Amino acid sequence: MLHPAMTLNRLDAERLQRLIDEMDEIDDRCLTGVLQGKLDLGIVFDPQELPASVVSMNTRIRLTDPNDGRSTTRTLVFPHSLGSIRDGLSVFTDLGADLLGRCLGDCVTWPRVDGCRQTLRIDAILWQPEASGQFHR
């Protein structure tokens, strides 16, 4: 389900569309469908106008489990960057796709490998490229 206030960076949207268009038949169609829905229905901003509270590509965030208080730090990346970003999380995972376009304070829920669902809250945006003036990363 699309978050009602989903906002995206225009350059991120263009890059994601290219990746989705290049996906072949063996790739996860359900996940690309989720990303395609965000591209089709999201509010798209030019990079310099993207609110600093939005998770865009290459944004580093702190996620907290509201049930036990444990936190983790992750950076939302394109799949090709996974090897070079220590805490990287691909946008082509369930969690990564759900985080894209979300805002500070939002909660995301996704299925774990064991079949249970986990919820995490976006507690901090530690670094966002657009807020740092890095519009063409």
What CATH number should be reported for the domain whose range is 7-127?
3.10.50.30
- Per-residue confidence of the chain (137 residues) as pLDDT tens digits? 444 457 999 999 999 999 988 876 555 566 788 888 888 888 999 999 999 999 999 999 999 999 999 999 999 999 999 999 999 999 999 899 999 999 999 999 888 888 889 999 999 999 999 999 997 76
Helix (H) or strand (E) holding 17, with range, is: helix 10-22
Q: How far apart are CA 10 and CA 22, in angstroms?
A: 19
Tell me which DSSP letter residue 52 carries.
T
Domain boundaries of the chain, sorted by first residue: 7-127
Residue 134 tokens read as 């890095």
Q: What is the pTM of this model?
A: 0.89
Ramachandran angles phi, psi of 82, nearest 5°: -55, -40
